[in-house]
Chains A and B, each alone.
Chain A
Amino acid sequence: MTMTTSRPDNVSSSVAFIRAGRRHRQRRWMLVTGTMALLAAALCCAMLILGNTIYPLDQVLRALFGEQIKGVSFAVSTLRLPRMLAGLFAGFAFGIAGYTFQTLLRNPLANPNVIGITSGSSAAAVFCLTVLQAGNAFTSVAAVVAGLLTVVVIYILSRGKIFSIGRLILIGIGIQAMLDAVISYLLLISSEKDVPTAIQWLSGSLNGSKMNELPPLVLIVLIFTPILMILGKHLHVLELGEQSASSLGVSTDKTRIALIVAAVFIVAIATATTGPIAFVSFLAGPIAKRLVGNGSYNLIPAGLVGINLVLAADLVGQFAFVTRFPVGVITGLLGAPYLIFLLIRMNRKGEL
């Protein structure tokens, strides 16, 4: 092995050497995170400016600050702003929840999309929408409860004698298949007029987002993001495995439960609001890691990648083709090949 760096000769020079390296990595983190935040801001503006009619930014801003401009005010405040905010918060939510699961379970496959948590929330939401004709708040609560229940079921079934992440993932995939069957069944028995709404919702869509549907999502994201940030160091230590984590003073069970509950709340509420936007929670974490590097806490970068994915995919879905596609179709097109790539690579490395 070639190691070219020279060797520092006492503790203070070692400190300087280590500090310089950390500073370098932190600078990269700031740079990447800052760039992604700027990109997200640009996409947010684009979401407000672009539409059937393109309005200039100054008119958009004036309309946002309450000025009544004919045509602009309605399009921006009633149609485009809720759509943008739904994409913003849902993208962030899917990103941080996916990252938390993937880091906690040390496997990119272990995310809400693949192991059936999103499907659990979706099934509950479809049941509420089609069978119960329930309102928004009720649907959100049902989605969260169903998400948590799905986790509990997966956990109990995969416990066995020794906790195995591989088994958890396989059982999660099985549960997902079952829940998807439940969703299909619900669609079959529901009345014809409900089916298009349900299908559109299921493919993950920002279409028809309304301002009054957003508060639960915004609230949950604002409550649980700080909690996940505070638990960041715990998560880093848990990554070293059960034994190292306990010997470093982390109460592993309590921490794991806190992290999972927070992540499930976030992902379930986002699912209830916009529908399961395919693969965002699966893609955001690995992309953030690739961009930032792995040693630091990449929760916020993953959230920003989530925002960028959702908003960019929604813009592409709206304007790139003759037909308009819901955002989930576009993210699905991106995510599916990555899933296959990851499965092939892990199979080669013998990790599955």
Chain B
Amino acid sequence: MKPNHTFTAEQVVAGYENKTVINGVDLTIPSNRISVIVGSNGCGKSTLLKALARLIKPTSGSIMLDGKPISRYPSKQLARIVGLLPQSPIVPEGISVADLVGRGRFPHQSLLGGWSKKDYEAVAEAMDMMDITEFANHNIDELSGGQRQRVWIAMAIAQQTDILFLDEPTTFLDITYQIEILDLLTDLNRKHGTTIVMVLHDINLSARYADHIFALQEGRLVAEGNPTEVITSERVKDVFGLDCAVIPDPVSGSPMIVPKGRYHAS
């Protein structure tokens, strides 16, 4: 099982050039759990995730891993603890699936030399887990969207970080693949104890798969806790501006929102 880490953000302010998107966020990421960041479009979910994964530098505030600011870690060392799967990673042309997954081993490798035994095992394990081993020697261009997404996640798993951030890992996928990806990520968390923090669009899927939810509104954290505490009809109205009823999900028992809209209400 992955070790326990304390990952905290204090009064984080972050954004792009002269636009502040995140406006003073304090949070502690529950170790070895699945957390989901929810909020409406433009509320700063992705920006917060990028700041946490040190892709953008906060204008003020601090992000600490085990009591030390993440900016003070050597980049390769941090890359062995914290990984990120971006929303739209770039596919190099004509590369084989196994070689692509193997690029996730970069922080574990020396500058010269090929793959070690550990590299092979990590890649094989990640590919087995994502059920893509059979495509190992295929070209990435031959794969469908859902299969490619599993390749990217396999690359992030091969990196073998204790904490994994994912920026909308299910966007652009059919509902079948969305469920498949979320199940596989849950496997990763349950089997290896990997701490997962992801941004998801779908509130119902968030409520079902999250152990912990962070609700973001206009760059501020407005609620956090387990799904039952956070997902209430009042809060959905506040955060998303949506009138809805919240009922228990008939499959999982987690809260499920049923949007009202202007028509169809009895």
Contacts and interface: CB of A to CB of B under 8 A. Distances in A.
Interface of A: 1, 3, 5-8, 10-12, 14-15, 17-19, 21-22, 24-25, 106, 161, 229-230, 233, 236-237, 239-244, 246-251, 289, 293-296
A21 B75 contact: no
B106 A250 contact: yes
Contacts of A236: 92, 103, 106
21 contacts: A1-B143, A3-B134, A5-B137, A5-B138, A6-B134, A10-B128, A14-B136, A18-B136, A19-B120, A236-B106, A240-B92, A241-B89, A241-B90, A244-B85, A247-B53, A247-B79, A248-B107, A249-B107, A289-B94, A295-B99, A296-B99
Given A22-B115, A230-B112, A239-B90, A11 B125 contact: yes
Contacts of A230: 111-112
Contacts of A233: 106, 109, 111
Interface in B71-92: 75-80, 82-86, 89-90, 92
Contact of B75 (A161, A239, A249, A295): A249
A241 B124 contact: no
B123 interface: yes
A11 B124 contact: yes
Contacts of A248: 79, 83, 103-104, 106-107, 159
B40 interface: no
A14 B127 contact: yes
Contacts of A244: 84-86, 89-90
Contacts of A8: 133-134
B79 A18 contact: no
B43 interface: no
Interface string B101-142: 001101101011001000011011101100001111110001
Nearest to B120: A15
Contact of A18 (B77, B82, B120): B120
A230 B99 CA distance: 18
Contacts of B106: 233, 236-237, 248-250
Interface of B: 17, 50, 53-55, 75-80, 82-86, 89-90, 92-96, 98-100, 103-104, 106-107, 109, 111-112, 115, 120-121, 123-125, 127-128, 133-138, 142-144, 159, 165
Contacts of B90: 106, 239-241, 244
A7 B133 CA distance: 7
B94 A294 contact: yes
Nearest to B136: A18
Of A3, A15, A17, A289, most buried by chain B (CB within 10 Å of CB) is: A15
Contacts of A229: 112
B68 to A, nearest CB: 16
Contacts of A293: 94
A248 B101 CA distance: 12
Nearest to A10: B128
Given A5-B137, A7-B134, A247-B83, A22 B99 contact: yes
The 8 closest A-B pairs by CB, nearest first: A249-B79, A21-B137, A241-B90, A294-B94, A14-B124, A247-B84, A243-B86, A295-B99
Of B77, B95, B133, most buried by chain A (CB within 10 Å of CB) is: B133
B133 A14 contact: yes
Contacts of A295: 94-96, 99-100
Nearest to B110: A233
Contacts of B75: 246, 249-251
Given A6-B134, A18-B120, A239 B92 contact: yes
Contacts of A241: 86, 89-90
Contacts of B98: 18, 21-22
A21 B121 contact: no
B96 A21 contact: yes
A30 to B, nearest CB: 13
B124 to A, nearest CB: 4
A15 B103 contact: no
Contacts of A10: 128
A141 B104 CA distance: 40
A248 B80 CA distance: 8
Contacts of A25: 96, 99
Contacts of A240: 89-90, 92, 103
A246 B55 contact: yes
Nearest to A226: B112
Given A11-B125, A236-B103, A249-B75, 11 more contacts: A14-B133, A21-B96, A22-B99, A240-B89, A241-B90, A243-B84, A248-B103, A289-B94, A294-B93, A294-B95, A295-B96
